């Protein structure tokens, strides 16, 4: 093989993927592991990688405990309510009790946080959200990680985790390739903290043609957090809990600052309030725990995100779309108008550009909203990810196996999108999770748990052959193209992605079917997924860039299969507005007040599903 093999040996903590979770991990690993070798492998460049790459206008998870604003228990209650009960309360509490200190550090490192000039307190957007000038959020946080790590390898697409050849189910590092030079990189490490991203672009996106790639979550979030961990045999949880976002149409501009700070509100196409009309019917579906007896919203609690979506989707289906965001009132105030534009210029510049390009001035016209295609991730209002151990002082036995944020694979830890059951962490919470994972990883090493790891030459060579196979396939068969990119012997990554997106959309509840699926559809989808998996063996890459796309697709396929399996397993509609099981349209607390956990056998590829107990560790107020 033409590409060089570069081996980095004797690593203590390998951070695979350095968005906010991974940067938190590298930073904290240095604190607990003064003499440890800490290495970062990142697909892009750590200065502009992960979901925060483009910037953010708010930090959506800040307790404000020092000002008596909220305590961690409040946040657990909020996340629990928003997710219709389904959170890992031990992990959520653990994140919430540490998150403020992370935010204070960001400020120390130079992140401009907006402040109330009178009180000096951070300016609140909503109960949990504080406002920032965050275009440079990621470079600022990355600097701390760069100073902490011994080495940062940018432009490395991590494709597989290395497994210990001496002991079953123990991690030994990771491998990947440099997306610029093509070189093969082997990282032998005692622990791995997976900080890779969730998954955009697994469901067919609304944006097509020239708009393709304009999606809400980072388009480069290729489900690698899940692809890597599932392939290593880690158990996953809540993978059915995909998220659908209400967003400004086509630009996918977030709505949080508008709703919460600008106090804008929504209307249907006739200029009417529509949300509350759907609540009585909703109580028939979800019961009265989340909405009150008259079907009105419980005034002291926010409406769960999925239920807000449900009203939106139902109103549009009733023929009264589009849904508008009423900006024309707020934008009459010059200060709020400025905030409205700044919000996008600092985080979703495409939305501002789109409005400018299409003559939409929110001061004189209420912009359209839409519901997005679903995303699979674990840090916004959804909790997909690995089944991880919690902290020992809080977690019940079923949630604790020695090391905080360690997956069911020994020595493999997660942070951010990688950890399941912990929604509403957002950027600051993901960074905090990275810190918690790194502290535990250092302890794992100090406890001698990583002794005697052996990685065979065979494993390294086998993975190398596997990784570069798409280039070989292309070389062997490229002359047999029949027309354009059509070849009887291979598919290219774009063709594979199109196929996956169509399958997920039509069988797993994408926007094209109004987020609806059922057992029959899921079984057909899984059958088609098997055929796609066979064809993944015949994927071809004409250059290193396509090789990157081929491996991203691989991770997306692994993620999607898991979403199919979980969606099939949970026979109820737990989150109307995220997806519907047409054959079980009601929330069913008698049978499904549980977390779902899956395991894919590394050798056979067979899935085993189980129900895990859902412990409510924090009392109702």
Report the interface residues with ligand AMP, using CB under 6 A: 60, 126, 128-129, 254-256, 259-260, 302, 305, 381
The residue among 260 and 437 lying less far from ligand AMP, judged by its C-beta, is 260
Q: Give the whole-angstrom CA distance, residue 76 versus residue 86.
A: 11
State the residue for tokens 């992990």.
Answer: 91
Q: Strand pairing of 5-16 and 38-41?
A: parallel
CB closer to ligand AMP, 78 vs 177: 78
Q: How far is the CB of 129 from ligand AMP (least distance, A)?
A: 5
- Round to whole Å and give the CA distance between 294 and 526: 40
Nearer to ligand AMP, 60 or 404 (CB): 60
Closer to ligand AMP by Cβ: residue 56 or 202:
56
Cα dihedral 268, 331, 114, 117 sign: negative
Phi, psi values for residue 311, rounded to 5°: -60, -45
Q: How far is the CB of 291 from ligand AMP (least distance, A)?
A: 15
Which residue lies nearer to ligand AMP by CB, 139 or 256? 256
Instruction: Report, in Å, the least distance between residue 265 CB and ligand AMP.
Output: 8
Question: In the bound complex, what is the minimum distance in angstroms from residue 479's beta carbon to ligand AMP?
Answer: 49
Residues 51 and 446: beta-carbon distance below 8 Å: no
Q: How far apart are CA 544 and CA 156, in angstroms?
A: 12
Nearest approach, Cβ of 93 to ligand AMP (angstroms)?
18
**Are 371 and 286 in contact, with CB atoms under 8 Å apart?**
no
394 Cβ contact list (under 8 Å, min separation 6): 90, 93, 94, 617
Smallest gap, in angstroms, from Cβ of residue 542 to ligand AMP? 37
| CB closer to ligand AMP, 295 vs 302 | 302
- Tell me how far apart the alpha carbons of residues 438 and 431 are, in angstroms, rounded to a whole number: 11
**3-state helix/strand/coil string of 452-515:** CCCCCHHHHHHHHHHHHHHHHHHHHHHHHCCECCEECCEECHHHHHHHHHHHHHHHHCCHHHCC
What's the Rg (C-alpha) of the chain? 23
Between 414 and 423, name the residue whose CB sits nearer to ligand AMP: 423
Compare residues 423 and 496 and give the one whose CB is closer to ligand AMP.
423
Closest approach, Cβ 444 to ligand AMP, in A, equals 32
The token duo for 547 is 């090789």
579 in Cβ contact with 509 (< 8 Å): yes
**CB of 581 vs ligand AMP, minimal distance in Å:** 24
Q: Which is nearer to ligand AMP, 429 or 525 (CB)?
A: 429
Q: How far is the CB of 341 from ligand AMP (least distance, A)?
A: 15
Nearer to ligand AMP, 255 or 412 (CB): 255
What angle in degrees, to the nearest 10, is found between the helix axes of 72-82 and 89-108? Answer: 120
Smallest distance, Å, CB 586 to ligand AMP?
A: 24
Which two structure tokens, joined as six digits, stand for 311?
């009203």
Query: Which residue lies nearer to ligand AMP by CB, 69 or 533?
Result: 69
Q: What are phi and psi of 184, to 5 degrees?
A: -85, 125
**At closest approach, how far in Å is the CB of 471 from ligand AMP?**
39
In contact, 587 and 282? CB cutoff 8 Å: no
Q: How far is the CB of 381 from ligand AMP (least distance, A)?
A: 5
Q: How far is the CB of 318 from ligand AMP (least distance, A)?
A: 20
Taking the CA atoms of residue 73, residue 78, residue 79 and residue 80 in that order, the dihedral angle to the nearest 10 degrees is: 90
8 A C-beta contact, residue 55 and residue 131 = no
Q: Which is nearer to ligand AMP, 70 or 404 (CB)?
A: 70
Backbone angles phi, psi at 67, to 5 degrees: -105, 10
Closest distance of CB 363 from ligand AMP, Å: 20
Nearer to ligand AMP, 425 or 597 (CB): 425
Q: Are 414 and 194 in contact (CB under 8 A)?
A: yes
Shortest distance, position 300 Cβ to ligand AMP, whole Å: 13
Instruction: Please name the helix (run of DSSP H) or strand (run of DSSP E) that holds residue 442, with its range, or none.
Output: helix 426-446
Nearer to ligand AMP, 259 or 615 (CB): 259
**How far apart (Å, rounded) are the C-alpha atoms in residues 170 and 172?**
7
Residue of minimal CB distance from ligand AMP?
Answer: 256
DSSP class of 377: -
CB contact set of 440 (below 8 Å; sequence gap of 6+): 403, 404, 405, 406, 413
Cα 493 to Cα 238: distance, rounded to the nearest angstrom: 28
Q: ω into residue 322 within 30 of 0, thus cis?
A: yes
Q: Tell the smallest beta-carbon distance from residue 166 to ligand AMP (Å).
A: 45
Specify the residue, 256 or 322, whose C-beta has the smaller distance to ligand AMP.
256
Compute the distance between CA of residue 48 and CA of residue 378 in angstroms, rounded to an integer: 20
Distance (Å, whole) CA 15 – CA 29: 10
Q: Can you state the angle between helices 519-536 and 493-508, rounded to 10 degrees?
A: 170
The bridge status of strand 246-248 relative to strand 236-237 is unpaired
> With respect to ligand AMP, which residue has the nearer C-beta, 153 or 290?
290
């Amino acid at each position: 093989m033409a590409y060089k093999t570069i081996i980095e040996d004797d690593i203590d903590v390998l951070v695979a993927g350095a968005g906010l979770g991974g940067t938190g991990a590298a930073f904290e690993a240095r604190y607990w592991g003064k003499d440890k070798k800490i290495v970062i492998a990142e697909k892009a460049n750590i200065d502009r990688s992960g979901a925060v790459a483009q910037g953010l206008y708010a930090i959506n998870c800040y307790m404000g405990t020092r000002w008596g604003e909220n305590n961690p228990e409040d946040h657990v209650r909020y996340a629990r309510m928003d997710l219709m009960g389904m959170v890992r309360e031990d992990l959520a509490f653990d994140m919430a009790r540490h998150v403020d200190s992370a935010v204070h550090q960001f400020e120390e490192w130079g992140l401009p946080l907006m402040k109330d000039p009178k009180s000096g307190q951070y300016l609140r957007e909503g109960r949990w959200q504080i406002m920032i000038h965050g275009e440079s959020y990621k470079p600022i946080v990355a600097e701390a990680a760069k100073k902490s790590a011994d080495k940062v390898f940018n432009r490395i697409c991590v494709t597989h985790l290395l497994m210990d050849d001496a002991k079953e189910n123990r991690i030994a590092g990771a491998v990947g390739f440099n997306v610029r030079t093509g070189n093969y990189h082997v990282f032998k490490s005692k622990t791995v903290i997976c900080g890779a991203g969730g998954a955009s672009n697994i469901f067919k996106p609304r944006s097509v043609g020239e708009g393709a790639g304009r999606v809400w979550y980072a388009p480069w979030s290729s489900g690698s957090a899940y692809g890597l961990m599932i392939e290593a045999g880690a158990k996953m949880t809540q993978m059915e809990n995909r998220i659908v976002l209400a967003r400004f149409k086509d630009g996918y501009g977030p709505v949080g600052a508008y709703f919460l700070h600008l106090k804008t509100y929504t209307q249907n196409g006739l200029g009417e309030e529509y949300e509350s009309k759907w609540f009585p019917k909703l109580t028939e579906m979800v019961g009265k725990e989340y909405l009150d007896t008259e079907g009105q919203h419980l005034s002291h609690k926010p409406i769960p995100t999925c239920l807000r979506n449900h009203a939106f989707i139902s109103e549009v289906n009733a023929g009264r779309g589009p849904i508008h965001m009423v900006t024309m009132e707020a934008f009459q105030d010059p200060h709020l108008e400025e905030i409205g534009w700044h919000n996008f210029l600092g985080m979703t510049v495409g939305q501002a550009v789109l409005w400018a390009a299409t003559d939409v001035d929110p001061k004189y016209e209420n912009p359209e909203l839409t519901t997005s295609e679903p995303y699979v991730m674990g840090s916004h209002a959804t909790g997909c990810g690995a089944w991880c151990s919690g902290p020992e002082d809080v977690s019940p036995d079923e949630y604790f196996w020695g090391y905080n944020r360690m997956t069911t694979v020994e020595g493999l830890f997660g942070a951010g999108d990688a950890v399941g059951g912990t929604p509403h962490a957002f950027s600051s919470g993901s960074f905090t999770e990275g810190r918690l994972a790194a502290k535990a990883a250092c302890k794992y090493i100090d406890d001698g748990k990583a002794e005697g790891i052996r990685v065979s030459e065979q494993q390294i060579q086998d993975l190398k052959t596997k990784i570069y196979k798409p280039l070989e396939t292309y070389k062997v068969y490229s002359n047999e193209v029949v027309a354009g990119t059509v070849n009887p012997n291979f598919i290219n990554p774009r063709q594979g992605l199109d196929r996956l997106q169509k399958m997920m959309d039509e069988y797993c509840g994408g926007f094209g079917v109004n987020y609806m699926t059922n057992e029959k559809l899921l079984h057909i989808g899984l059958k088609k997924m098997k055929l796609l998996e066979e064809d993944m063996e015949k994927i071809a890459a004409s250059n290193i860039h396509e090789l990157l796309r081929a491996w991203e697709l691989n991770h997306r396929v692994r993620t999607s299969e898991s979403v199919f399996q979980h969606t099939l397993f949970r026979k109820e509609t737990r989150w109307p507005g995220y997806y519907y099981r047409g054959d079980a349209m009601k929330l069913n607390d008698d049978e499904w007040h549980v977390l779902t956990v899956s395991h894919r056998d590394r050798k056979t590829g067979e899935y085993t599903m189980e129900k895990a107990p859902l412990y409510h560790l924090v009392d109702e107020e």
